[in-house]
Amino acid sequence: MLTFGGVLLAMFLGALDQTIVSTALPRIVADLHGLERFTWVATAYLVASTALVPIYGKLADTYSRRTIEIVAVSVFLLGSMLCGLAGEFGTLPLLGDGMSQLIVFRAVQGLGGAGLFAMAFIVIADLFPPAERGRYQGFVGAVFGTSSVLGPFLGGFLTDNGSGLIPGVAGWRLVFYVNLPLGALALWFILTQMPPLRPRTERRRLDYLSMLLLILGLGQLVIGLQLNKNDYGWGHPLTLGLLGGAALLLTLFVRRSLRHPNPILAFSLFKNPVFRTANAALFLLGGAFLGLIIFEPLFMVNVLGETATRAGVSLIPLSMGVVTGSLLAGQMVSRYGHYKRWMLAGLVVLMVGLLLLATMPATVSYGQVLTYLLICGVGLGPSMPLYTLAIQNAVEPRFIGQATSASQFFRQIGGAISASLLGVILTLGLSSALPAAGPAGGVAPSAPTAQAAPVGEGPAVVSAGIPSSPALKAAFSQSISRVYLVTLLLVAGGFVMTLFVPELPLRKTNEVGQAQPGLE
């Protein structure tokens, strides 16, 4: 249990960092004079954390889990310290000015952050057998939901009030420094309490070329998706070049992996029907949570006329619903088994919540929106632990690291693609609605656009910068309703894929008594 607590604390650091930084960004940009590069602070972290997830899974299947966890926490803490120091010593050789330094150091932080998430599920799989694992993995969802609530408040408090805590240190730097004492505590737990958790197979030489292909391919894919489409549209040469290069590199990665005796990701896993269908569902569901935290504040600000603070507060019911749904589903599965019914039940609740959001009028009350978000959160909660549990239960223990990291990876990539798609839908809806409505409501003919927040950076409250009017409110309301409708369709697709997930009896030990489907 002490090991479990240390791993959860380490994961809490990574989850908190994803939301705490977003509230400090305006002050960071002002101090470091990097407004034109502020999106890269998030993108650098996202690229590194996404590309390294599958590699952490392979490393966990090759080396001691404790060693990999220690490396991940240490790299994350190093990145946090460097981010706090960005710009303190002026322009540096190779690294450039303070803003450029912060972007580079955020990438370092992302290299460690990828391991905090992937290793949490992998270590829990070692500590507890599948029949008991649900209740413990439910705490992972609870940690994630809690950090979503605490992050924005803590980030705002430290940014506004932290300058006096340490003489000569700007408050926004404490947003990064706060990771150090918490991380040191997590590291102490891991070093002193965590068993080695050595791999179950003979160590073999890693395929470093595949690692390079995967990192470069995923890096180009995420950057291509995250580019501001106002400046670099889907037909822009840079966007096409990045996405085309990503497709080529990832194709080479797949071909290399199919031929190598010790690939980064064993593609034989895709023969397993649970692995195949559960990851397909996760890919489709990845954008549901992001769609809510990115676009609901837009509705609050531009339709209901709420302040940015109240828009951020409105996401608390969503996070608390995730905590409740995750813990409840984990407990129910551990007590009664039958994970599939709880996965499907959660998706039904989520679709009801999304339908309510998609059909709400522009005159909806603030309290009603909070209720709808709570419903969505309760529905989202079971998806946090149960799909990973189903996958882990279906594969041989020697593949636990790769299988677990693959589930995290498909969720993240699905979220990145969905966020970009939903951002395009919102932009197209506003572009078509506002020019026609402009003369009637005093709205400027040039339509506003909303650039979706980079994945993992918390809510992006984007005001259109156009005087409030009935025409503007109607345009935003209709466009965001379409966003939720598409999100609902994605969740419905995830529901259909979940129907095809075979339900295997939950093992009562971490040993496999017989070969699993597709892995004979």
Q: What is the pLDDT of residues 472-498, one digit of tens each?
A: 788 888 889 999 999 999 999 999 999
Report pLDDT for 434.
60
pLDDT at position 450 over 70: no
Report pLDDT for 124.
86
pLDDT at position 240 over 70: yes
Region of 167 (left: φ > 0; alpha: ψ -120 to 50; beta: rest) is beta
pLDDT at position 448 over 60: no
**pTM for this model (two decimals):** 0.82
Instruction: Give the residue-averaged pLDDT of 123-137.
Output: 83
Q: Which residues of 325-348 are buried (b: 16+ CB within 10 A; e: fewer)?
A: bbbbbbebbbeebebbebbebbbe
CB 515: neighbour CB atoms within 10 A?
9
> What count of Cα atoms within 13 Å lies in the side-chain half-sphere of residue 127?
24
* Mean residue pLDDT across the chain: 82
pLDDT at position 459 over 70: no
pLDDT at position 104 over 70: yes
Paired with 92 in beta bridges are 96
**Measured distance CA(455)–CA(46) in Å, rounded:** 7
**Measured distance CA(339)–CA(396) in Å, rounded:** 19
**Measured distance CA(426)–CA(299) in Å, rounded:** 11
Cα maximum dimension of the chain:
72
pLDDT at position 368 over 90: yes
For 96, which DSSP code? B
Instruction: Give the residue-averaged pLDDT of 70-82.
Output: 94
Report pLDDT for 439.
39
Dihedral of CA 37/285/338/408: which sign?
A: negative
Among candidate residues 225, 287, 267, 217, the one with its CA nearest the CA of residue 51:
217
**Measured distance CA(475)–CA(173) in Å, rounded:** 39
- Range in 23-32, 115-124, 458-467 with the lowest mean pLDDT: 458-467
> What count of Cα atoms within 13 Å lies in the side-chain half-sphere of residue 419?
31
CB 58 within 8 A of CB 122: no
pLDDT at position 139 over 70: yes
pLDDT at position 258 over 50: yes
What's the pLDDT band for 78 if we cut at 50, 70, 90? very high
pLDDT at position 457 over 80: no
**Measured distance CA(357)–CA(342) in Å, rounded:** 23
